Amino acid sequence: MKLRILTAEFMHETNTFSRIATDRQAFRNRYYLLGAEAIAERGEQNTELAGFLDIGRKYDWQIDHVLSAAAGPGGKVTSAAFDWLTDPIVAAVGEQQYDGILLGLHGAMVTDFCEDGEGELLQRLRAVAGDSIPIAITLDLHANVSRKMCALADIIVSYKTYPHIDMRETARHAGEILQRNLRKEISPRTIRIGCPMLEEINGARTDSGPMIERIRAARQWEQREDTFAVSINGGFASADITEVGPTVLITGEGDMEAHREFASSLAADIWQHRQNVVNDYLDVAAAAAIAATFTSSEGPLIIADYADNPGAGSYGDATNLLRALLDIRVSNACFGPLVDGDTVQQLSQHEPGDLVPVKLGGEVDPPLRRSCTRIAGGTGFPERWPLCRRRSHGRWPAWLIRADRGGEDRWNRGSDYNSCPADARSAAVQELRHRADIKKRDRAQINAAFPSRLRTDCGARHCL
C-alpha cells in the first residue's frame, strides 16, 4: 500500500528589529500557493517541494501538498498571517490518516505572539497528529533552532550551502530519512548543541573560511550507519529571542553520547573561531573615498552594503552610501537596488528624460532628496538568478533612474548614479559589462548571482 505523506512549505526569516510586520500581503508578495498550484509552480525548481516530490516518485508515495508560502525577510509574522497559513496544514492532518509529515521550513520565524514560529507550528501539528507519526523538516542554514523544534520533529536536515543552492537536495535528504523511518529500518531522533553567541561570525558562508571544513566533517560523520543527518546552523542574529544563535544538530540513533560529543566539537570550533572574521567591513566614508580615487580602466569596483541587505530583513532603501558617493562626487557608477515604490509611481507620471525632484528611499533613515530622471523600465528578478531559479515572483514595476549629482556638472558629464528601485540586477549587469560600476549588494549574494560575469567578463579586482 502506498505511504501517504503530507507536505507543506512555510518559510520566514524574521528580523525582530524591523518595524514592518510580516502580514498576509507580505506572503502573497513573495508566494502563497495552494496544493496543485504550488506543485505546478515549484515542483521542478530548486525548491524543497521539488525534492519532496522527487522522493515521492522514487518510493511511490501519495503526497498531499497543502501549501507553499514564504515572505521576504522582515518583521515579526502577525498572528493573523501565522494562523492563516498554519490552520490548513493542521486541519489537513486532522482530516486524513497520514504515515508521515514532511515540511520545508526556514527555522528563524518569530511571530508577534511567540519567539519560535516553527516550534509553534510543530506543537499544533503534534496536538492533532499525536506523537507516533514521524515528522521530518528541512531548515535554512540560518535557522535559530529551538529545543522545542528538536523535541517535536524526529528528522531535521538543514542546507549545507550559503549562498543557498541545495534546497532540493536537502529536501531529498530529509525524504530519504523519512522513508527509512517509515519502513521501520531506523528510529531517528535529533539532538541539538547550541553555541552561546549570536551567529557564526562569517554569516555561515560555506564558500570560504572555517565553514568549509565544518561541512566536510559533517558529511563525514553522516557516513556512519547510525547517523542520518548533521546540520550546522549559523543562526540569525537579527532576531532578539532567547534561543538565538548557531546550533549543531545530529539526526541519528544508537550511541547518542557519541553524536553529542561530535556535535559539541563542531560547536566548540564555531565558538573558538568567533574572532576569525573572513569579511572586512569598511565604513561608508572609507568605501566612498576608495571609490572616488578608483580608476575605471582597472575594471569594475563593487561595493556591497551588508548593513542594508534586504536578504537579512532590512529595508533595502538606506541612502547613506548613496549620499556619501554623491557627496564625494564619484562618477560613472551604478547603485542598486533601492526599494521605493512611491518614487517609481512618481516617475511613472513623467516622460523619460524629465528631470524630476524626488525623495529617494529612507523609510527609516533620512531619505535622499535629489532630482532624478527615468532612463529605462523593468520588472522583477532576472530569470536565471541561481539562488531561487524562479520566474514569477518579485515582478514589481521598476525604473532605472539617473540621479543628479548637483553642482555644475549635472547632466552633461554623462550618466552617474543609476538605481533600479525594485531590482537592478539585469540593468546593472549590462552597466557593469561596459564600464566601472558600483553595485550595492551583499557580497555573498553577488557571488552566487553573478558567479563568473563579474569576475571574468568584467575583470573585477576589487570587492569591498
Residues that bind Zn ion (CB under 5 A): 140, 142
Helix H, strand E, coil C: the string for 384-438 is: CCCCCCCCCCCCCEEEEEEECCCCCCCCCCCCCEEECCCCCHHHHHHHHHHCCCC
Q: How far is the CB of 234 from Zn ion (least distance, A)?
A: 8
Q: How far is the CB of 246 from Zn ion (least distance, A)?
A: 13
Q: Are 5 and 98 in contact (CB under 8 A)?
A: yes
Nearer Cβ to Zn ion (122/388) = 388
Residues 6+ away with beta carbon under 8 Å from 441:
304, 305, 309, 337, 449
Q: How far is the CB of 464 from Zn ion (least distance, A)?
A: 22
Nearer Cβ to Zn ion (142/172) = 142
> Taking the chain, what is the end-to-end CA distance rounded to the nearest angstrom?
57
Q: Are 200 and 270 in contact (CB under 8 A)?
A: yes
Q: How far is the CB of 203 from Zn ion (least distance, A)?
A: 9
Nearer Cβ to Zn ion (126/441) = 441
DSSP 433-456: HHS-----S-HHHHHHHSTTIIII
Q: Can you say how many angstroms the Cα of residue 394 is from the centroid of all Cα atoms in its chain?
A: 14
Q: How far is the CB of 13 from Zn ion (least distance, A)?
A: 7
Nearer Cβ to Zn ion (265/279) = 279
Nearer Cβ to Zn ion (284/387) = 387
Q: How far is the CB of 330 from Zn ion (least distance, A)?
A: 32
Nearer Cβ to Zn ion (140/423) = 140
Q: How far is the CB of 107 from Zn ion (least distance, A)?
A: 9
Number of Cβ within 10 Å of residue 407's Cβ equals: 9
- Residue 410 sits at φ, ψ, to 5 deg, of -75, -90
Nearer Cβ to Zn ion (160/439) = 160
Alpha carbon distances (Å) from 368 to 123, 267, 282, 372, 396: 46, 44, 21, 11, 22
Residue nearest to Zn ion (CB): 142
The residue type found at 114 is C
